Amino acid sequence: MRTTLTRNLSRYQQTFNDFAPGQKVVAIVGTLGLLLAGFLVFRWAATPDYSPLFSNMSSKDASAVIEKLEADGIPYEIGGGGGTVMVPQDQVYSTRIALSGEGLPTSSDGGYSLLDSQSISASQFQEQTAFKRAMEGELSRTIGAIDGIDTAVVHLAMPEKEVFADEQDPTTASVLVGTRAGSTLQPNQVQAIVHLVASSIDGLDPAKVTVADSTGQVLSTDDGAGGAGANSRSQEVADYQDQMTGKIQAMLDRVVGPGNSTVTVSAELDFDKSVQESKTYSTAKGIKPLSESTQTEEYTGPAGGNAETGVVGPDGQMDTGVDGAGTGANGDYKKESKTSDNAVNTVVERREAAPGTPTMKTVSVVLDSAAARDLNNEDVADLVATAAGINEERSNGAVEVQSMPFDRSAEEAAAKELAAAAAAEEKANLNQAIRNGALGGVVALMLALAWFKGRKRAKARAQATSYVVEQLRNESAARAAVPVEPPAAVLALESTEQMRAEETRAELAALVERQPEEVAALLRGWLVQS
């Protein structure tokens, strides 16, 4: 075993010595690379997978947990800005149970846990303050769970309840959010924050919730719609203009071809929130009234009651009639009244106009005179007005179409630059292909030379080995042809010589393996001499 190992090491050493300097460098670098890759794979396989033990901890709790893990000799990693501690995955539950038995984590950043430590002797002011702090902590934690938000701070202004409702000050809230690097809040996320806060506090109007980011920019609107603050309206106008421009431009590209027209849309949007209520009464024909009543009053007799009765004159004297007896004209009369209650249909209609309704749109279109010489500008204007929803009767916009020659110098320069870039890229690709072909040819030539050299060496090794083996066979056959029975001493001597021959044969085989060309040249010299 030792002889075989020594022989293999000697063969490897001799093979390495036969390498060219470049082959030696490649062999050394390859061996080191394999060792390094094996080390990295072993280290990766030996490294445990870490899982969160506790998340969103305060700095005090994180310090206490880390101190306990170090004391117990448990490996850990810190993440989440210092608020998350991770341990090996197979030790998560056991470590969590052990730390919970030690009362860790202990502190809290707020929330309803503040209400657990209140005593019965707390004053009303202390109770209200604790409730406000608890709500602020819970809302901060809830808002912090929204995607893209790193931290959130909520402040509530909750005035004391007044006896009269008209004297009650409204509840207000302010929210300060800190987003993660490279992320911004979308308007729907701001709207979600506004309504989350407003729905959590009794009597809080969404319009009284202010949301701002860490840069000091107000994200919520004054009407509580939860847009993007001061930039929401400008962004909405820009989006509407871009949408209309794209729609009209797509239509003109099909008519006059791409690049032969340009469109500019200017729009005004009404962001006022209006509510209109109307009530309409109507009666259905052919339907009997709900109720009907008739009153009749009749009287029969003289107009006066006695002789002294009459009409008071302008001077206060009594006019007793023509004969002075007070028996004037007949006093009969009849009065009749009728009342009917008909069924009345009542329709109450309430319309609420959403902010952002377009009120005015102006569209400017310029056509390339070279490409649109056969088009009528008025026809194009009618098409654009229809596409933009502009109606002359409603006077909600205007369309202007003009034909002018386009300046194509920039396009021509860009086309030349693109052609030059394409030619340069094609030339670079050609050079790269030639270089790769040359390198491939060199590598193929080197491989062919190495293959021919290896084949020549293998052929010489086979010839030398076959010759030596043939000589040894001949020698063994000649010795076996001797018929004389040798004595014991001669047998012992022959056994010793046979062992030496075997060792010599092994050494010859090793020599042939290491230096086949030299052995072949030596044998050829012997054959020539004989």
Distance CA(38)–CA(17), nearest Å, equals 26
pLDDT above 90 for 248: yes
Helix (H) or strand (E) holding 164: none
pLDDT of res. 321: 47
**Least confident segment among 405-409, 418-422, 476-480:** 476-480
Selection from 131, 181, 188, 183 nearest residue 160 by Cα: 131
For tokens 């490649």, name the residue: 26
Distance CA(144)–CA(83), nearest Å, equals 14
Q: What is the mean pLDDT of the chain?
A: 79
What is the band of 513 on the pLDDT scale with cuts at 50, 70, 90? low
Average pLDDT over residues 318-322: 48
What is the band of 5 on the pLDDT scale with cuts at 50, 70, 90? low
Highest average pLDDT, of 322-331, 344-353, 418-427, 509-518, comes from: 418-427
161-196 confidence digits (pLDDT tens): 887 777 788 899 999 998 887 788 888 889 899 999
pLDDT of res. 326: 45
pLDDT of res. 499: 73
pLDDT above 70 for 2: no
Q: Which residues are CB-neighbours of 419 under 8 A, at least 6 positions away?
A: none
Structural domains of the chain, with CATH: 1-46 (no CATH), 50-101 (3.30.70), 112-116+123-160+168-220 (3.30.300.30), 240-273+351-406 (3.30.300.30), 497-528 (no CATH)
Average pLDDT over residues 115-124: 73
Average pLDDT over residues 361-371: 91
Distance CA(421)–CA(432), nearest Å, equals 16
Peptide bond into 206 cis (omega under 30): no
What is the band of 468 on the pLDDT scale with cuts at 50, 70, 90? low
271-316 confidence digits (pLDDT tens): 777 788 888 888 777 777 778 888 888 877 765 554 444 555 555 5
27-77 confidence digits (pLDDT tens): 788 888 888 888 888 777 777 788 888 876 777 788 888 988 999 889 888
Task: Please indicate whether residue 520 or residue 82 has the higher confidence score (pLDDT).
Answer: 82
**222-227 contact pairs (CB < 8 A, 24+):** 223/273, 223/355, 224/194, 224/198, 225/191, 225/355, 226/187, 226/188, 226/190, 226/191, 226/192, 226/193, 226/194, 226/195, 227/187, 227/190, 227/191
pLDDT of res. 304: 54
Helix (H) or strand (E) holding 481: none
SS3 string of 300-357? CCECCCCCCCCEECCCCCEECCCCCCCCCCECCEEEEEEEEECCCEEEEEEEEECCCE
Tell me the two tokens of residue 156: 């509530």
pLDDT of res. 241: 92
pLDDT above 60 for 224: no
pLDDT of res. 522: 66
Q: Pairing mode, if any, of strands 311-312 and 172-179?
A: unpaired
Distance CA(514)–CA(465), nearest Å, equals 12
**Least confident segment among 70-79, 91-100, 490-499:** 490-499
Task: Please indicate whether residue 368 or residue 305 has the higher confidence score (pLDDT).
Answer: 368
**Least confident segment among 117-131, 268-282, 475-489:** 475-489
CA dist 326 to 304, 309, 333, Å?
7, 6, 19
Per-position DSSP letters for 40-101, written without gaps between them: HHHHHHHSPPEEEEE-S--HHHHHHHHHHHHHHT---EEEGGGTEEEEEGGGHHHHHHHHHH
Task: Please indicate whether residue 372 or residue 478 has the higher confidence score (pLDDT).
Answer: 372
pLDDT of res. 437: 87
